[in-house]
Structure 1
Amino acid sequence: MTAKLIHGYEVVIGFETHTQLATQSKIFSRAATAFGAEPNTQACAVDLALPGTLPVMNREAVACAIKLGLALGSHIAPVSIFARKNYFYPDLPKGYQISQFEIPVVQGGEVSFFLGDEKKTVRLVRAHLEEDAGKSLHEDFIGQSGIDLNRAGTPLLEIVTEPDIRSSEEAVAYAKELHKIVTWIGICDGNMQEGSFRCDANVSVRKPGQPLGTRREIKNLNSFKFMQQAIDYEIRWQIEQIEDGHAIQQATVLFDPDTGETRAMRTKEDAADYRYFPDPDLPPLHISEQWVQEERAQMAELPRTMAARFVADYGLPEYDATTLTQSKAMAAYFEAAAKACGQAKLASNWIMGEVSRRLNMAETGIEQAPVTAAQLATLIGRIADGTISNNAAKQVFDALWTGESNDVDAVIESKGLKQMNDSGALEKIIDEVIAANPDNVAQFRAGKDKAFNALVGQIMKASKGKANPTQVNELLRAKLAG
């Protein structure tokens, strides 16, 4: 598909995501990783690189990398190398960061997602293990800065994409899908506000068919809303600069949510600037095929596998299956409802429609839904067997959601929502409507279908909305054909 152009320019975006791994201790030490501790209370001698200390690899961090590789269809390197990434910054106590460069632990793979009804796939370059740096704290009101080294040594997986993304909407959809995957497999808590899932977007623009433009990296995007705003602003800024005759300079930029603008922080470094070399204190990381298979056996069903099963077992469209596997909780809710009512597509429609709409209004997750999967299944069953209409079902659902009642049948009874399924009574109403509307009858018999709909409307009105629409259509057509 042809990429969408903005003022004649094609947008090219690559992503780097720093995923904090859900381990109890740091990647090369036994110091804790808990969020919110008092500054500098979770930084040990190893994290500070004091003389005589040596790093020791955290096995659980490697297990997390293996799980990610399995989830993304990547190659898991049987041997990978740790390197020192050298740069000087106040919150980097060693003067270098232990990372992976030439041979990362996870190589290749892809992330697929839907943007509207269109399926997109972003290819991955790599995911490598590394330690986090500390954090600089700037107290503007006293004009001082401080360093908190609690984060120093926290285990990260940096996940890097090919420059396959072509819009801010695609970027957000990709980030949401990756966020779903890492939280689903349990390697990251996904808390963006606490910095557990931080995204950097490399943005450039070019005329179609031209070489890739110079990219600027937007650092530390910690919400999906700001992510889209930052990328959109950066795209507009770069196009304006080029149109005004200015060259784009490679740089690292920050997004200011108060102004809605990006601003340059520093010129962007290349790999050569970091003077990577193998870390002499860490031997190569060996991962056996047996270890990979052990991790595979312990992993829960992956979202893409579950989505494929929903298509095969329940006959759902791929779009529905992908949407319903956005979280384990939603998938479990759907499956419980579908099994209980035997109407998988109806269950999917209700969950993707009315249930999701209410959850969005309440700004809550499906775990807190006041209508249980069992209640929804009962409601769908009453629609399927003709007890109530779709419109009546919405009234029942509202009563369940607001806590008016927790019994589907009790609500149907108390509100008088049962459909009229007595064919004798319904035929009487149809006969009366036909007799009272000879013009519509004549128009229908002359080939005008709108007249038929007008007759149906009159019948529904006469039955006070209780007539079964399917039955009305069948009986009315039979009578008009006679």
Structure 2
Amino acid sequence: MNPEIRSKYEVVIGLEVHAQLQTETKIFAADPASFGALPNTHISPITLGHPGTLPKLNRKAVEYAIKLGLAVGSKISDRQYFDRKNYFYPDLPKGYQITQDKTPICIGGGVKVKLKEGEKTVRFHHIHLEEDAGKMLHLDGESDSLVDYNRAGTPLVEMVTEPEIKSAEEAFQFMTEVRKLVRYLGICDGNMEEGSLRCDVNVSVMPVGSKVFGTKVEIKNMNSIRNVYRAIEFEIPRQIEMVERGEAIIQETRSFDANTGKTHGMREKESMNDYRYFPEPDLTPLIISEDWLSAVKTQMPALPWELFEKFTREYHLPEYDAGVLTDSREIAEYFEATCSFTNNYKAVSNWIMGTVKSYLNENNLEISDFSVSPERLAQLIILVDEDKVSNSTAAQKIFPELLKDSVKTPLQIAETNNLIQQSNTDSLQSLIDEVLAANQPKVKEYKQGKKGLLGMFMGEIMKKSKGSADPKVTTALLQKTLDSL
């Protein structure tokens, strides 16, 4: 798009983020809430809304929502009612959804995002609890659609932002932080491809300086953070071009095609949906007492931004390292556990970001699957710090053995395989003398100015020592010997 035309318009974006809560059972029934079961096997008369059945609120779902609210600085409502949101769609077995309309559990709060131009807080309007719907399956080539009700009744929190996001990049960073946060809290696995974290995007454009928002368009159910970015990047110029041509933007719901990178109209929306909300008559008011709130506060883990500050301040790590290590709660915990056995914090960071993460990525593993304990990794780092083995020997020869052998220490592996570096100057001097005596022409060339031959001499010495010569000590001794000739 022409930058001059683009600069005439301001973008207004609001997000509605749905996160499935990782409870064992559904929010109002005892059916399992786990993902991946055969269709329509995690259902019951309560989930299906049979006459005479009554819902019962899942206490754990409430506590997970409170955790989220505390983490983002929301006000936790002390008295709440659940409501019935009435609409008719095949994936909604009861013909209504139990949700919170007038009394959301969390009010306000926000999440900080880091942008090129600085840090910004994206604020929440509110966060409410509700139940998920089922899932419609539209198979290619089939005229009929199928419905799987396993997901129906799964507890959700819906996070509704203020309409103050200004770009696709800002939305991308916000979603990245939200996914990281719910994983840290242990309330949602954040797997967008499985639908446990979903995002609806509301996009509108208006002339710069205008006080009146443009007509918003909703893009439904993005299944990756990257697609949230792509959908917004397509939608902004589409709307601006329509305004430039004098066309009216229709308030509608659109879908995003990941293959083409384009949005497509699904249905027009009325100016206001009439869901005929009314208080859920089968649930009593939800009261959050001070004692209950205090108990949830004691269960709060360290949050990513708190650990980021700790890693830079107490462990003196660069911001880049702290950002990588706090991207995952499990990685952050592994780093801290390793640091309890050694004070070379930068080396711990380098090992985890380098050798350890490379191994995990190559084998499609999580840190929870990693067989080397923090203590054994620290022992390996200490071996290098004490100049008993070189860093390359530690990474290339000892680390692979640690993965195979869960009993031997790094020192025992090094001793068994004759990997301990020689630092005895007498034995090293003998090796140096042998190599120089066997390469007199090269020694003359070195003395004539070909200082690059030092590497060749070192290579020969390392061969004779079978890699056990301490590089630092050997290099210093070799240079001293050559300079004295």
TM-score by length of 2: 0.78
What amino acid is aligned across from residue 337 of structure 1 in structure 2? T
Aligned partner of 2:458 in structure 1 is: 463
Distance of aligned partners of 1:473 and 1:128 in 2 relative to their CA distance in 1, 3 Å threshold: farther
User: Is the 8 Å Cα contact of residues 15 and 202 (structure 2) preserved in structure 1?
Assistant: yes
Aligned partner of 1:131 in structure 2 is: 131
CA distance in 2, matches of 1:470, 1:207: 69
Secondary structure at the counterpart of residue 264 of structure 2 = strand
CA distance in 1, matches of 2:393, 2:10: 49
What amino acid is aligned across from residue 359 of structure 1 in structure 2? L
What amino acid is aligned across from residue 352 of structure 1 in structure 2? M
Deviates more, 1:86-95 or 1:463-472: 463-472
Deviates more, 1:463-472 or 1:240-249: 463-472
Distance of aligned partners of 1:60 and 1:366 in 2 relative to their CA distance in 1, 3 Å threshold: closer
Secondary structure at the counterpart of residue 14 of structure 1 = strand
What amino acid is aligned across from residue 160 of structure 2 in structure 1? V
CA distance in 2, matches of 1:68, 1:190: 13
Secondary structure at the counterpart of residue 357 of structure 2 = helix
The structural deviation recorded for 1:392 is 5.0
The structural deviation recorded for 1:342 is 1.6
Aligned partner of 1:55 in structure 2 is: 55
CA distance in 1, matches of 2:5, 2:456: 51
User: Is the 8 Å Cα contact of residues 185 and 300 (structure 1) preserved in structure 2?
Assistant: yes
Aligned partner of 2:112 in structure 1 is: 112
CA distance in 2, matches of 1:118, 1:414: 52
User: Is the 8 Å Cα contact of residues 200 and 220 (structure 2) preserved in structure 1?
Assistant: yes
CA distance in 1, matches of 2:415, 2:354: 21
1:202-256 deviations in Å (ceiling 9; x for gaps): 2344565455444322222223343343333334534444455544333222222
CA distance in 2, matches of 1:206, 1:383: 60
Percentage of matched positions with identical amino acids: 45
User: Is the 8 Å Cα contact of residues 371 and 400 (structure 1) preserved in structure 2?
Assistant: no
User: Is the 8 Å Cα contact of residues 421 and 468 (structure 1) preserved in structure 2?
Assistant: no
Deviates more, 1:288-297 or 1:8-17: 8-17
The structural deviation recorded for 1:200 is 1.8
Match runs of 1:35-434 below 5 Å:
35-114=35-114, 119-205=119-205, 208-210=208-210, 212-268=213-269, 272-369=273-370, 371-391=372-392, 393-396=394-397, 399-400=400-401, 408-409=410-411, 410=413, 418=421, 422=425
CA distance in 2, matches of 1:190, 1:358: 23
Deviates more, 1:336-345 or 1:303-312: 303-312
Secondary structure at the counterpart of residue 342 of structure 1 = coil
The structural deviation recorded for 1:334 is 0.8
Deviates more, 1:339-348 or 1:178-187: 178-187
CA distance in 1, matches of 2:93, 2:422: 73
CA distance in 2, matches of 1:117, 1:356: 30
The structural deviation recorded for 1:293 is 0.5
How many equivalent residue pairs? 461
User: Is the 8 Å Cα contact of residues 206 and 213 (structure 1) preserved in structure 2?
Assistant: yes
Distance of aligned partners of 1:233 and 1:415 in 2 relative to their CA distance in 1, 3 Å threshold: farther
1:87-122 deviations in Å (ceiling 9; x for gaps): 232222343322122321011222235568965543
User: Is the 8 Å Cα contact of residues 446 and 453 (structure 2) preserved in structure 1?
Assistant: no
CA distance in 2, matches of 1:417, 1:206: 69
The structural deviation recorded for 1:18 is 1.2
CA distance in 1, matches of 2:473, 2:177: 40
User: Is the 8 Å Cα contact of residues 40 and 150 (structure 1) preserved in structure 2?
Assistant: yes
Unpaired segments of 5 or more residues in structure 2?
463-468
Aligned partner of 1:24 in structure 2 is: 24
Distance of aligned partners of 1:34 and 1:332 in 2 relative to their CA distance in 1, 3 Å threshold: closer
The structural deviation recorded for 1:299 is 3.5
What do you get for the CA RMSD once the two structures are aligned?
4.2
User: Is the 8 Å Cα contact of residues 402 and 410 (structure 2) preserved in structure 1?
Assistant: no
1:423-475 deviations in Å (ceiling 9; x for gaps): 9959x99x9999967897xxxxxxxxxxxxx96x6545543387756997999
The structural deviation recorded for 1:344 is 0.9
The structural deviation recorded for 1:74 is 1.7
What amino acid is aligned across from residue 262 of structure 2 in structure 1? E
CA distance in 1, matches of 2:368, 2:5: 40
What amino acid is aligned across from residue 30 of structure 1 in structure 2? A
Secondary structure at the counterpart of residue 314 of structure 1 = coil
Secondary structure at the counterpart of residue 128 of structure 1 = strand
What amino acid is aligned across from residue 344 of structure 1 in structure 2? Y
User: Is the 8 Å Cα contact of residues 393 and 419 (structure 2) preserved in structure 1?
Assistant: no
The structural deviation recorded for 1:348 is 1.3
